[in-house]
Structure 1
Amino acid sequence: MGGHLVTVATCSLNQWALDWEGNTNRIIESIHKAKAAGARLRVGPELEISGYMSQDHFKEQDTFLHSLEMLARILRDESCHGIIIDVGMPIQHRNVCYNCRVLCLDGKILLIRPKQFMASDGNYREQRWFLPWAKPRQTEEYHLPRMLQKLQGATHVPIGDALVSTPDTCFGAETCEELFTPMAPHIAMSLDGCEIFTNSSASHWEETKLETRVQLIVEGTRKGGGVYLYANQQGCDGDRLFFDGSSMIVVNGEIVAQGSQFSVNDVEVVTATVDLEEVRAYRSGISRGYQAAHSTAKYQRIQTAFELSPEEEDVDTTKRRSTPQKPRYHSVEEEIALAAGCYLWDYLRRSGQAGYLVPLSGGIDSCATATIVFSMCRIVMQAVQEGNPQVIEDVKRIAKYKGENVLPETPQELCNQIFHTIYMGMKTMSSPETRKRAKDLAEAIGSHHIDLDIDDIYNAQKALIVNTTGFDPQFKVHGGSYQENITLQCLQARIRMVTAYEFGQILPTTRNRPGGGSLLVLGSANVGESLRGYLTKYDCSSADINPIGSIDKTDLKKFIKWAVEDFGIPCLQEFLDATPTAELEPITSEYVQADEADMGFTYDELTVLGRLRKEAKLGAFGMFQRLVHDWAADYTPAQVADKVKRFHHFYAINRHKMTTLTPSLHAQPYSPDDNRFDLRPFLYPPFWKSWSFKRIDAELERIEAKMAKKEGGGVDADID
């Protein structure tokens, strides 16, 4: 028996799809940090060499070639020797593509372990690119390419489902989705005596999703005992998802180390010193022995003489076992501020553009978007003050102050250089209150603010209709038809989009900002408005990226309320107190446009309807059956039927808008993002004539008949 104290390392890396050299540099840096902490085993995120979000690039041979070239670079680097490394990359074996872990030691490959269970729901389409390893507890010989044969000193290495055995312990690898499956691989591994499990993930952020991950890992090791090393991607990998790190080490159901969930660090290594004897003692005291003794799930073991707990280290009395700690969670408000802020920083620094621009309307949605950008500036300035070299380099490149070593000192100073807000009003429709709210917020966060009116452009465009057709369209408050009213509203909205891009391209030049580039325009349509289609196609909801496109109004209000105190911005309270309005119709003494009245739903109702549509997977009839009970205290069955029908009617007729929806940061599991997440038709048959609506009518008639009998004292035994 050798020593029993083992130092292990897991990490969160901010990888980027196809950033071959950058990704490899970060992997090597993480190995160096792990070794410096005394670790003998290092695990990294899923597909860390190529970047997880390479997607259809996994159909290109270049992706596999460059992955192998980067692996060869790591294997050749002697500074990466003396530690077992678990690295993720795509591998082709017998012309089949696999998502693999490559376990290496001292420049040699010990085992290639392909993923067994693919993520193919929600945001994931892994089986579009990879096939699962369909041979449990079996291995084959992988024929090495010539560039690796020289390093390996052999032509083949094992590929498949196996464990690695050292003189002092045994460890196995699983990958991301496998943790979430009912028969997770670590269960069978545990019953066969495996004591350490690595999990390499690219698990994206959704509000409060971290709790699910923690529960799965904690319960898995609580039932079977063992050491679990969880590594996760961090940051924006080139698409709509934000990967939220939180790499952790869990021993026998207790967290002993946890990394940050939201960070602008490119490399974060989490280490712990664990006692293998604790695993053995724990297993002897739980209901595991009988199943382990009778388990037929026996694994091949790849042998190595490398010890994770060298005997000589036992005499080092300075070595301390890592003690349990409580998991760290953020509130929903903090998650929005941190996740969206970190995502926007990654997006900006990697896009090569000059900054951001938000059309600031004076309403809560654009207010939330602007506040998230300010949160980004706060996060960045904290990293600058902590001396983060990568962040400092990026700030110098993007903000470009006069003087090579000059940096901003406050979030407002940084905000003023890279963030621009623009209020685009109409003299007859924009209220003084919204104009003032926009100005006050811009001053509080330090953005470069422009206040302008678009009346001249609007009048010129409207005159085009009059001069061409002889027809003078009017708003409904002036006697116009629905079509006239909607035409004039959309005209303003689209003018604002064109104006936003116009200023986004020219403002860096007018301000003499060095470096060139345009501003990225941010959208601010929330998830409820997108579901309802309460936006104009190609209006100022059309942008480069939308930080709040998958966040509901309720959470946005919570975020703003939290930011009033946490960010110290009192003027945010005015946005909370104001009635949401698009301000696209004239204000009169008797009429002020209101969003919820226009939509026919409250924002809270849209959240419920959206969750039932996507998460509960209910159609119109199923939704009615659910809500006629859930909303019974507030609405009659007929009113519920009307709301359900209206929702599906407007969803159907506006579905085409989702095909051009601005890409949004994914934050909610009921996002209507058409392009990646919510794959549905965009041309529907008329819902008002549909069979599902007829079924709602029939069910409503049945319910109302029962209610009438009850009121009349009758009994209907056929109706529950």
Structure 2
Amino acid sequence: MGRKVTLATCSLNQWALDFQGNLSRVLKSIEVAKSKGARYRLGPELEICGYGCADHFYESDTLLHSLQVLKELMQSPITTDIICDVGMPIMHHNVRYNCRVLFLNKKILLIRPKMLLANYGNNREFRWFSPWTQPRHVEDYFLPRMIQEATVPFGDCVLSTIDTCLGSEICAEMWNPRSPHIDMGLDGVEIFTNSSASYHELRKAEQRVMLVRSATNKSGGIYLFANQKGCDGDRLYYDGCAMIAINGEIVAQGAQFTMDDVEVLVATLDLEDIRSYRGERSCKPILHYSMKILILKVKVDFMLSVGEDVSLPTNQPIRWRFHTPEEEISLGPACWLWDYLRRSGQAGFLLPLSGGVDSSSTACIVYSMCVLLCQAIRDDNHQVLEDVQRVVGDTSYRPEDPQELCGHLFTTCYMATENSSESTYSRARELASQIGSYHINLNIDMAVKGILGIFSMVMGKVPQFRVNGGCARENLALQNIQARVRMVLAYLFAQLSLWARGRPGGLLVLGSANVDESLTGYFTKYDCSSADINPIGGISKTDLKSFLQFCTDHFHLPALRSVIAAPPTAELEPLANGQVSQTDEADMGMTYSELSLIGRLRKISKCGPYSMFCKLIHTWGESCSPSQVAAKVKHFFRMYSVNRHKMTTVTPSYHAENYSPDDNRFDLRPFLYNTRWSWQFRCIDDQVTCFHMLFSSTSMLLSESYGNWTSFP
């Protein structure tokens, strides 16, 4: 009997409801797996329809077309002599389940429904699916006539082949404290598989690798992890990272960020290594068997190993190479932007480039996208070349240089007013020159004055800036006019700038508001932060500055040094002797680093005003008094609640942080608040009073003790 098995897992760039494209990518992955000798192929979660179908899962069409694709897969000669493990939604007894369908040679072996659903963060699986709540229970599922006239096992069970035993997990089940692989391993299952749709967040990859390694570190076994990749039609980017592990060691690593639509990972591993590993560690097997419940098995007359395989080399452990957060920012949003662009039918991007950290970061991400595209084309990725040619409208075009490609795909625009400084103008121009974007300089004062002229003509009053004697309302309105005019002009140039240059198509407008500014609503509603998509909307200011430093060195962009050194400013108020008098941190009343911490406490730690104060008096205890901490917490919650309504219109942003305030999908909080927070703030004030009383009592006791001590000779 053979002892070495060759297994395949993959990452696929699936797209919600793109049944034809999804089918092609699944078939290609199976074809590649077979060509490398694999006898089992694992794909991502819900790969047939796409994970991001959302409320389309309610539609019978989604279920019907998924079954039609499954029929095509089963009838294809490509799928013969290999166990294919695909993901799709299935209705059983009028209940919708997220399932794995395992088939071999035109026959379905098993349908395994997901038992532990993801229902946190961006995940809403309970909205569309029900969990299978009957562990170790199997029912008959009557297949639709379009597939075959038969019943197949449906439920919690595993496959038992001639030479080994294989069991499935689905995405979130691996993250659960009682993962199914625990019981499966105790009952002798040797190969565990996980089909995922795990989206990218900064610093998340290490958690996945740790979970996969730990799944087989204690009890041994092979673990295959498959994942979705690309933009599935939403704000999320699925970042691949397919992997294969044995006995706690990674032996095959897939790419985390790549332009390839199909990536297949194949490994040959020795089953005897699992048995030896378990034999050494199972010191008292009788205890395990007395405590566990046997897993139901479906017997399959098929071998994952092939005959005499002594000479077949096996994969050896490797060291996983993790990307730094700066590299993740460079790669993840860039891949997301490319998927969005090529699938939107548009001809490129337009960005209002102010010369500040945020818009410069967005520009660098687009440039990183161009670098990745050129590298993929040099690596003979024909799909990328065809997509680039289609986007630029030239079937003979072959980009050779990222700057040149950037000139075709990217338009930047500096929109000056009388409040703009020479330094921001120069920074924007120099950065545009170094990345190669088509750059436009224009002055919007005429448009601003025209709008103010209409108001003055109707109302008979002329608003003034604060420095010219105006009140706070006048000052804010004058700032907002400039910002909103920029939004209008950005969309005008996005629609017609290529037309004016004799080129076909339109441009997608990019936003550039970071996650920290969104927390406090430090932007104008419907200003130039309002755009089609925003690649940095889920990234903190602190991380963006580190990212720009990375780009300075990695992409050789010296213009970024002055961007990093300059204080962040909106430049919406009059200059003072030609110099910027307005800074973002002064306007917000706190630093960006303070905002990042507050955001994490608010979203991740689920802190309201009082609990946030209780945590921050210790965190900031050395630099702030209790009264100062209270003032900062109150100020944040006032700003947050006053501006929360802006989140209902915030530009869809690349999701990179789990303290994002994005109201569209991620942060489900009200947008109309009692901004006084009277009860909550009173609790803070009471606690501050207690601290003062305690401090006064302690000081008095110390003073008395010190006085008594000094009275001794």
Q: Do Structure 1 and Structure 2 share a fold, with TM-score over 0.5? A: yes
* Number of the residue aligned with 1:63: 62
Aligned AA (1:618)? C
**Which of 152, 158, 165 is residue 163 of structure 1 equivalent to?**
158
Structure 1 CA distance for aligned equivalents of residues 244 and 356 of structure 2? 43
Does the residue aligned with 1:179 lie in a helix, a strand or coil? helix
- Does the 8 A contact of 1:399 with 1:414 survive in 2? no
**Which of 464, 467, 474 is residue 484 of structure 1 equivalent to?**
474
Q: Deviations over 1:575-618 (max 9, x none)?
A: 00111100000101386110000000100000000000000111
**Which of 626, 629, 637 is residue 637 of structure 1 equivalent to?**
626
Aligned AA (1:645)? K
**Which of 679, 682, 696 is residue 694 of structure 1 equivalent to?**
682
* Number of the residue aligned with 1:711: 699
* Number of the residue aligned with 1:41: 40
Structure 2 CA distance for aligned equivalents of residues 49 and 328 of structure 1? 30
- Unaligned runs of at least 5 residues, structure 2: 704-713
Does the residue aligned with 1:217 lie in a helix, a strand or coil? helix
Matched ranges for 1:247-286 at <5 A: 247-286=242-281
Matched ranges for 1:424-503 at <5 A: 424-426=415-417, 428-503=418-493
Does the residue aligned with 1:22 lie in a helix, a strand or coil? helix
Q: CA deviation at 1:291?
A: 4.3
Q: CA deviation at 1:287?
A: 4.1
Does the residue aligned with 2:177 lie in a helix, a strand or coil? coil
Aligned AA (2:155)? G
- Does the 8 A contact of 1:192 with 1:295 survive in 2? no
Structure 2 CA distance for aligned equivalents of residues 46 and 686 of structure 1? 43
Does the residue aligned with 1:147 lie in a helix, a strand or coil? coil
RMSD, aligned CA: 1.2
Structure 2 CA distance for aligned equivalents of residues 542 and 290 of structure 1? 64
Q: CA deviation at 1:362?
A: 1.0
Q: CA deviation at 1:310?
A: 2.3
Q: CA deviation at 1:295?
A: 3.6
Are 1:527 and 2:523 counterparts? no
Q: Deviations over 1:298-333 (max 9, x none)?
A: 122111111001223x25x2x211000011210000
**Which of 296, 299, 304 is residue 300 of structure 2 equivalent to?**
304
TM-score w.r.t. length of structure 2: 0.97
Structure 2 CA distance for aligned equivalents of residues 80 and 639 of structure 1? 67
Q: Deviations over 1:237-264 (max 9, x none)?
A: 0001000100000000000001000011
Aligned AA (2:313)? R
Are 1:415 and 2:414 counterparts? no
Structure 1 CA distance for aligned equivalents of residues 228 and 432 of structure 2? 34
* Number of the residue aligned with 1:354: 347
**Aligned residue pairs: how many?**
702
* Number of the residue aligned with 2:289: 293
Q: Deviations over 1:122-178 (max 9, x none)?
A: 0000010000001101110111111011xxxx4211100001001100001110000
Q: CA deviation at 1:463?
A: 1.0
Report % sequence identity.
Answer: 54
* Number of the residue aligned with 1:594: 583
Q: Deviations over 1:362-381 (max 9, x none)?
A: 11100000000000000111
Structure 1 CA distance for aligned equivalents of residues 78 and 287 of structure 2? 42
Structure 1 CA distance for aligned equivalents of residues 106 and 293 of structure 2? 31
- Does the 8 A contact of 2:571 with 2:580 survive in 1? no
Are 1:392 and 2:370 counterparts? no
Structure 1 CA distance for aligned equivalents of residues 282 and 360 of structure 2? 55
Structure 1 CA distance for aligned equivalents of residues 78 and 318 of structure 2? 32
TM-score w.r.t. length of structure 1: 0.96
Are 1:555 and 2:555 counterparts? no
In structure 2, the CA distance between the partners of 1:359 and 1:290, relative to structure 1 (3 Å rule), is farther
Structure 2 CA distance for aligned equivalents of residues 17 and 95 of structure 1? 23
Matched ranges for 1:71-82 at <5 A: 71-82=70-81
**Which of 578, 582, 601 is residue 612 of structure 1 equivalent to?**
601
Structure 2 CA distance for aligned equivalents of residues 188 and 539 of structure 1? 55
- Does the 8 A contact of 2:243 with 2:250 survive in 1? yes
Are 1:6 and 2:2 counterparts? no
* Number of the residue aligned with 2:125: 126
Matched ranges for 1:365-384 at <5 A: 365-384=358-377
In structure 2, the CA distance between the partners of 1:291 and 1:217, relative to structure 1 (3 Å rule), is farther
Q: CA deviation at 1:285?
A: 1.0
Does the residue aligned with 1:102 lie in a helix, a strand or coil? strand
**Which of 534, 548, 560 is residue 546 of structure 1 equivalent to?**
534
Q: CA deviation at 1:510?
A: 1.2
- Does the 8 A contact of 1:12 with 1:232 survive in 2? yes
Q: CA deviation at 1:115?
A: 0.2
Q: Deviations over 1:646-676 (max 9, x none)?
A: 0001100100000100000000010000011
Does the residue aligned with 2:15 lie in a helix, a strand or coil? coil
Structure 1 CA distance for aligned equivalents of residues 306 and 367 of structure 2? 50
Does the residue aligned with 1:450 lie in a helix, a strand or coil? strand
Q: CA deviation at 1:297?
A: 1.9
- Does the 8 A contact of 2:17 with 2:49 survive in 1? yes
Are 1:196 and 2:185 counterparts? no
Aligned AA (1:455)? D
Structure 2 CA distance for aligned equivalents of residues 354 and 641 of structure 1? 50
Does the residue aligned with 1:26 lie in a helix, a strand or coil? helix
Aligned AA (1:568)? H
- Does the 8 A contact of 2:421 with 2:580 survive in 1? no
- Unaligned runs of at least 5 residues, structure 1: 716-720
* Number of the residue aligned with 1:718: none
Q: CA deviation at 1:464?
A: 1.3
Aligned AA (2:294)? K
Structure 2 CA distance for aligned equivalents of residues 228 and 697 of structure 1? 54
